[in-house]
Structure 1
Amino acid sequence: MAKSKNQLAIILITTLFFLWGFVLNLNPILIPHLKKACQLSDLQSALIDSASYIAYFLMALPAGLFMKRFGYKSGITLGLVLFAFGTFLFYPAAELRLFSFFLVALFIIASGLTLLETAANPYITVLGDADTATQRLNFAQSFNGLAAFLAPLMGGTFILSGNTLTEQQQQVMSADQLNQYLTNEAASVEVPFVVIGVVVLVVAVFFWRTPLPDITEEAETTDQAEGSIFAEKNLIIGVVAQFFYVGAQVCISSFFIRFSDRVAGINEKTAALYLSVALLGFMIGRFFGTYLMRFVAPPRLLAVYSLINVCLLLVAVLAHGLIAVYALIGVEFFMSIMFPTIFALSIRGLGAKTKIGSSLVIMAIAGGAVFPVIMGKVSDLTTMQTAYIVPALCFFVVFYFALRHYKAENVQLAVTH
């Protein structure tokens, strides 16, 4: 009975990975769309991503404290309610065509997602055998990869109009005509986001009414329960590794289209198609990596994948034409397992500190707000192609983390035998 309850919980938690992956990957659609509808500068439109990353950074610790007090199920339910509420706010934001309102809505959505990620990632690792925790988490994260592939395709179909006015066209339009155009553009987000909100609210009700196992992590010793979370060296190194990994991931995707244009002369629409292929590879990589972990220890696989990505990025920096673009597509595949694997290895053995430790790892998502800025500065000073040295250096940090775990496991096996 307990086993079947755990299986139901794993299925339900896996749906959450898809939901937050879908809405987060609508941001690349919202950036050009709201830039048109709200008449924004490039800097203002970049705040769409900033609203999400700031929420993850600010809300991760409160989320961990909330779940330490009320449990995983309550954290998930509250996260879903905030998620739905934020999506519903897109309707009045579009009606008023206020960019600040959109940013508030995005911040609320991301606050809900922070609760979901802080709860779902550790929850699924404790729903079953500890030896297969990393494998379960990678499997659930595979559906996040599926969402990453589907969101831009569906968002492009139902949100983007494909109708962009030049400055000259806007100048010859009357004030009423321009206002009508902007109103129509803004309104296209209303129905999609309301539909997302309804779906999320239904999932929240389902979670609230479904009996799920309430996992309690026991401390191995009294000292472990009462000691400072910052004394957990493995966790802190894991947080740093996750910070660098997320920074690298955002760098790879955010500059992909511009890189394709500069290095291979690929136009914007074709480059977007290449990016979709890359994200498909990311999804396939998650499923393949989950399978591979049945035969290869997660730390070893993480170390190998990190080095492969460093090599592929060096190819992207040094090669020309399509070879460089293909190298970046390959990076998407090999970084697919990294977030869930770093997460699972970071919180291993935390016992009663798991919820708070998880929130610290989630806070590391803030790396996605830092490294693209560094990469952009390097690009301004040199070239876009040279700037891909930045994510390559990030993967060296991930390699160090993986190597540390690999050596520790080898020592443990030697002692055991």
Structure 2
Amino acid sequence: MATITSTNTPVSTTQNDGNLNHNVSLVILTSLFFMWGFVTCLNDILIPHLKNVFSLSYTQAMLIQFCFFTAYAVMSLPSAKLIEKIGYKHGIVAGLIVAGLGCLMFYPAASMQSYPVFLAALFVLASGITCLQVSANPYVTALGKKETASSRLILTQFFNAFGTTVAPYFGGLLILSGVAIGVEELAMMSEAEQAAHRLAEAEAVQIPYVGLAISWFVLAAIFVCLKLPTIDTIEGNDVVDSNVKSAWKFPHLTLGAIGIFLYVGAEVSIGSFLINFFGEENILAMPEAEAAHYIMFYWGGAMVGRFIGIFLTRVVAANKLLGFNGIASVALILTAMFTDGYTAAAAILAVGLCNSIMFPTIFSLGVADLGKATSQGSGILCMAIVGGALIPLLQGVLADTIGIQLGFILPAACYVFIAYYGYKGALIRKA
């Protein structure tokens, strides 16, 4: 899953007496990457679950991702302003508390059986995660040498991917498996029984999300007590002497923002439709609770790929690796669209492996050589994560009109642009 990073914005630190050393601090910070990866991937479980609870169309169900990822666009700049006032450590604590409150909102949303309240809870939860990402990533870039910042970021994203890998298993176990019944069995129930069943389905999310809220609050208490290294200043890259308002002058930054928008949108879209895709008669005709376990292979592929990417990026040019992965993704999606059974299922899951290095690579290529405009460029790329809100919604419209399988043409088109950016767009450094 995508995380806000900046490999070209080194942060200087001072280490006062009693502060934790860099290695210990990095270990503690990885817990945050794991947590927001875990929670973000639970949306893939919520989509089919709430679709059944509220009898939603695919377009309506994709409002889950829309509300979640819209928070990145709406809250990135306010989070940055907040952190300027209270500091990075307290920004982490604030993000943890807000995320916990968002999880708690799932309890009344389920009791009220209100889809709008669920959507509001997701926005609040994502707002907290946005604040966390804006706060935590500068720490990661600071905890060590500037030359190894990229490796540390890929390492933390490995744990982020680990969270996205295990989330579908626990989500399927705790949310989907307990109360799910067949359509025919539901039709045989009386209206009162159906209402009771839908309430039980809605309330299936209460315990898991209350547990997550407690985890967020415990982490907040831990971070209040920790003495992390103090971040003093953010240093720009002085390769180019540019004005801080000039980031948009650089085509590779503008095209990189489009790349981030399309990549996050495509990755989230595919993950959002996997359970329903595996349930199609011509694919695997698989029950939702069982299909949820297969999502682990999609996100697990990203985890494995990021581990491999730590070594590959040292011997293969990052832009060429990005271009190759983009082309491979298109080929795999087309295979999933025009084949059936396990071939189609395996092809769409394999896209996860191709996704692995895309976000950090696009991000680092986008902010390269921006000089004093690096901070602005990083903010632009962060806001482009809103693609995770819009692309899944558009694919929901396609799924309602031409079907889930053919609807994958949208993420395929996204990966075509990403391949172009890797081979050509990232190399256009001057206006």
Give the TM bin, normalised by the shorter chain: 0.7 to 0.9
For 1:120, the equivalent position in structure 2 comes to: 136
For 2:323, the equivalent position in structure 1 comes to: 303
Deviation string 1:275-308 (CA, Å, 9 cap, x unpaired) is 3323322221222222333443433332332232
Aligned in 2, Cα 1:104/1:122: closer, same or farther, shift over 3 Å? same
Gaps of 5+ in 2: 1-13
Cα distance between partner residues in 1 of 2:154 and 2:30: 10
Deviation at 1:334, TM superposition (A): 1.4
1:316 correspondence with 2:336: yes
For this pair of structures, how many residues does the alignment match? 409
| Letter in structure 2 aligned against 1:316 | A
Deviation at 1:190, TM superposition (A): 2.1
Cα distance between partner residues in 1 of 2:206 and 2:60: 21
Deviation string 1:310-330 (CA, Å, 9 cap, x unpaired) is 333343345554333322222
Cα distance between partner residues in 2 of 1:84 and 1:77: 11
Considering Cα pairs closer than 8 Å and 6+ residues apart, tell me whether 1 or 2 has the greater RCO: 2
Deviation at 1:153, TM superposition (A): 0.9
Identity %: 37
Cα distance between partner residues in 2 of 1:70 and 1:108: 20
For 2:284, the equivalent position in structure 1 comes to: 266
1:291 correspondence with 2:308: no
Aligned in 2, Cα 1:10/1:296: closer, same or farther, shift over 3 Å? farther
For 2:263, the equivalent position in structure 1 comes to: 245
1:131 correspondence with 2:151: no
Gaps of 5+ in 1: 410-417
Cα pair 2:106 2:206 within 8 Å, conserved: yes
Of 107-116 and 326-335, the range deviating more from structure 2: 326-335
Of 134-143 and 383-392, the range deviating more from structure 2: 383-392
Cα distance between partner residues in 1 of 2:375 and 2:233: 10
Of 151-160 and 298-307, the range deviating more from structure 2: 298-307
For 1:413, the equivalent position in structure 2 comes to: none
Matches within 5 A, 1:152-167: 152-160=168-176, 161-164=178-181, 166=183
Q: CA RMSD in A?
A: 3.3
Cα distance between partner residues in 2 of 1:405 and 1:63: 30
Deviation at 1:196, TM superposition (A): 0.9
Deviation at 1:63, TM superposition (A): 1.9
Cα pair 2:96 2:216 within 8 Å, conserved: yes
For 1:196, the equivalent position in structure 2 comes to: 212
- TM, length-normalised to structure 1: 0.84
For 1:218, the equivalent position in structure 2 comes to: 235
Matches within 5 A, 1:54-133: 54-133=70-149
Cα pair 1:275 1:329 within 8 Å, conserved: yes
1:13 correspondence with 2:33: no
Cα pair 1:245 1:338 within 8 Å, conserved: yes
Of 100-109 and 121-130, the range deviating more from structure 2: 121-130
For 2:253, the equivalent position in structure 1 comes to: 235
- Residue aligned with 1:216, SS: strand
For 1:414, the equivalent position in structure 2 comes to: none
Cα pair 2:67 2:123 within 8 Å, conserved: yes
- Residue aligned with 2:134, SS: helix
